Each structure stands twice: as structure tokens, then as C-alpha cells.
Amino acid sequence: MTAQPLTVRTRPAEDPGADDAAPPRVSVIGTGYLGATHAAAMAALGFAVVGFDTDEAKLRALSLGKVPFYEPGLDELLTEQVEAGRLRFTSDVAEAAASADIHFICVGTPQMKTSHAADLRYVEAAVVSVVRHLRSDALVVGKSTVPVGTAERLRALVAENVPPGISAELVWNPEFLREGKAVTDTLHPDRIVLGGTSPRAEALLRTLYARPIAEGTPVVTCDLPTAELVKVSANAFLATKISFINAIAGVCEAAGADVTVLADALGHDPRIGRQFLDAGLGFGGGCLPKDIRALMHRAGELGAHRAAQLLQQVDEINMGQRERVVDLALEACGGSVLNRRVGVLGAAFKPDTDDVRDSPALNVAAALHLRGAQVTVFDPKASDTARSTFPTLGYATSPEEAVEGADVVLVLTEWAAFVESDPARLAALTHRARVIDARGKLDAGRWRAAGWEFRGLGRPAA
């Protein structure tokens, strides 16, 4: 049976404010970082939402308004929507399927253990499970980041598994969340991409997104392959920009130039812009590394070898920054960190999150620990998650405790508390006031004036 355009009655696309139909009901399949945020946001936009997951403990926490990770504003939004009765959670996929007209697929697509390819088992299982339990016509909307060509295969799975007499349409609506700003990015997105939609599916999704559309958010409609490529291409471009400035930082160090000033000058060019031009430790987290590697792998499969080669270089430059920071720490300590005390400020891969997945900060801290250093880490939000990943490192409860008695201090995550800290007060606590700014955010003159030996990536040594 082939999937047909859905027949759910909805407002016409050109009149999202009409009141001739009941609001569509929403399910969100997968309540991880993306799913929990999307479910709370859809409820905040006024829709009845049910979130599905197989993790009972997580569902109990979410039902109490507790998010099992740190994301500014999400706890409050979740609590508000649960208490308002617009948002609930279930571990019964049949209930979730029967309770909604639109089903958002928000499960993870991790990197496979044996290659750079994305592991699509969870996406495929989620789609099949929902479709098999449909009791009325429905729209299945993919939000997970997937390799191009995935959605077309999922459409075939929908056709094979949809119950007789039921119409189900699968489309793609990629997410563009930034950790630390996910609530704002969901409620007020900078663009909405709708891939592979029939006129009725587009109308239904325009109804869901009526509020941000009314605020001026542009809507891009396209085919399925284009929609699948938008998110990974955006991530690949940002990763390329970061790796470019990190490569230039190496030139700056060799020439005695200052990459931070150079980046400011480049950023005044409107064709380039200043964002993502901070030379430093490089990117990490649960998205950029796996997404560029998955795109690299898929590009190779498709014979687009130039793209694959470019992304290989981007990845190598990024990973090389971690080695460079380790080398700077060794240099600062006279060639060896054995039995030296190293204070590390930052564990999360970026500020305003407790996410330590593929964190460059923890990678550097662990590398120094393996070389015999006594490493003490402090992070305002990520110390607990870091401890569960790297329990052999030492952890402090404050920046002061982390730097106490240190032979060298590394600033590895650019939390505002670190950038704005009093360098004179911290210097007095160290064994020797040496700092490596691996994020390019410290005021070198201010720290040097407070007595610190200062090194930064792509910045003059003195």
C-alpha cells in the first residue's frame, strides 16, 4: 500500500488564523534533547502534545517538569505546559499514535561504532512503531538529522507498515537548535524548512508554526533530499569556518600576529561575519562532529569526493587543536606535566550547557591526566556529567578550588564566569600563575597585568 497525502482537515495555508477546524494534536517520538524541547515548545504554541519514550525514569522526571540535562529556560517552560494540561508523556506508543494527528520523529542518529555513517536504527524503529499503531490518517514529520536519501527509504517503510484504510504521509522538517539557546530557537526559529510536503501537509504544518510565521520567520519549501541536506550542510559550513580560523591561528603564531584582532577585522566584512571566527580549542558536542562525519561518509557513497575530502580536512584541523593545547601545557611546564598540578576551567563542549559529549575540554584534561598530571576540573553546570564520563579526573566546586596550587591553568570552556573573573585573585591561589586561554576570550593585557604568564592559540606569546 502506498502512502497517500493525509486527509486531516485543517486551515488553508493562506489563512492560518481561520477557525474552521480543531487544532491538530501533536505527538513527539523521543524525548531527548531535541524531543523534550520540541514537545514543550509545541505545547507553548497552544497545541495538545504527548511525548513518547521508552525510558520510564526520564518520563517520570519530565512529567514533574524536570529535564535530565541543563538547558536555560526549558525546566520552566516544561513545568508551565505540564501544569497547564497541554503536555503529557507516555511509554505506550499505541497511545501516542492514537492521540495525535502529527507525529514528530525526534530520536537520535548517533555515529555508528564501526564507521563514520549515522546509525539509523532508532529513526527507522520509531517510524515503523508509530505507523503500525495509527488509527486515523496522520502526518509523520522527521526532525532528526539524517543522511540524504533516508526519508525516501522511510517513506517505503511507511507504505509497508501503515494499517489498511489509513493514510500516512512522511515529510521532513529539520531542526536548527543551538544548545544553550534551544527554547528561543524553537519558539522563534530563524527559518522553517518543509521538505516533501503535499499541499495539505504544508497547510497543516503552517498551522502548527503560525505564530513564528506571523513574527516573520521565513518558510522554505523544498524536496526531501534538500530538506535532509540543509541541517548537515549548515553544520558543515560552521565547522569549516571554525577550522579555517584555527588554521589561520597557526599562521598567526608563526608570524607573531594576533588572530583575535584579525578575526575582528574579518568579521566587519558582511560576506564573512564575526560569528564562529573564534580561534581556539575547536568544536565538539553531540551534533557537529557526528554530522560532518556522516555527511563525509554519505558524500563518499554518492561519489561527491571533493566534499568528502574537504570535510576530512575540517575534521583533522579541528582535532589537531586539542593536541596543540596539550602541547602548550607541556611547554608551559618545561616539557612534562608529570606530577604537576593542572587547573582546568570548563568541561562542557560550550557554555550554557552541561553536555560533555565529544567535549574538547574533557579530551584535553584526560590527555594531560594520562601524561601524569594532577588535573582538577571545574565547570558551573557540567561537573557531574563530566565526572560520570571521566571519573578519574579531580573535580572542584569553584574556580578558586580548581586553580589552587596549580602549575598551569587552562581555560577550556568560555563560560562568562571565567572570562569575567578577577585574574589577580586567582593568581594569588596558584603555585605559578600561568594560563592558557584555549578559547580566545580572555583579555590578555588584563591577565598579564595581574601577573600571569599568558598563552593563547594564534596570539603573540608576549
CB 40 within 8 Å of CB 78:
yes
Say which residue the cell 582538577 belongs to: 376
Residue 10 has pLDDT above 80, yes or no: no
Lateral strand order in the sheet of 374-378: 394-395, 374-378, 341-345, 408-411, 434-437, 453-456
Task: Please report, for the chain, the start and end positions of each structural domain, with discontinuous segments joined by +.
Answer: 26-222, 235-456
CB 397 within 8 A of CB 378: yes
Helices of type H across 175-281: 182-187, 199-208, 210-214, 224-255, 259-267
Q: Look at residue 2 and tell me whether its pLDDT is greater than 70.
A: no
Q: Is the pLDDT of residue 373 over 90?
A: yes
Residue 4: per-residue pLDDT: 37
Torsions phi, psi for 162 (to 5 deg): -70, 135
Domain 26-222 shares a fold with domain 235-456: yes
Does residue 287 have an active-site annotation? yes
The predicted-structure confidence for 124-149, as pLDDT tens digits, reads as follows 999 999 999 999 999 999 999 999 99
156, 162 Cβ separation under 8 angstroms: no
What's the chain's average pLDDT?
93
* Cα–Cα distance list, 182 to 40, 190, 252 (Å): 11, 12, 34
- Judge contact between 350 and 179, C-beta under 8 A: yes
Q: Can you tell me the distance from the alpha carbon of 19 to that of 13, in angstroms, rounded to the nearest whole number?
A: 13
DSSP H or E segment with residue 221: strand 219-222
103, three cell numbers = 507525529
Q: Write out 150-167 in H/E/C secondary structure.
A: HHHHHHHHHHHHCCCCCC
pLDDT in tens, 148-160: 999 999 999 999 9
Name the class of domain 26-222.
alpha beta
- Active-site option among 106, 252, 287, 333: 287
What does residue 168 show for φ and ψ, rounded to 5 degrees? -135, 130
Mean pLDDT, to the nearest integer, of 16-22? 53
- Predicted confidence (pLDDT) at residue 9 exceeds the cutoff of 70: no
What is the predicted pLDDT for the residue at 461? 83
**More confident of the two residues 115 and 272:** 272
Any idea which fold 235-456 has? Answer: Rossmann fold (3.40.50)
Query: What local confidence, expressed as pLDDT, does residue 278 receive?
Result: 94
Tell me what the mean pLDDT of segment 318-329 comes to: 96
The residue with cell 519549501 is 221
- What pTM does this model have? 0.89
pLDDT band at 20 (very low <50, low <70, confident <90, very high): low
Q: What pLDDT score was predicted for residue 68?
A: 87
- Are 25 and 103 a contacting pair, CB within 8 Å? no
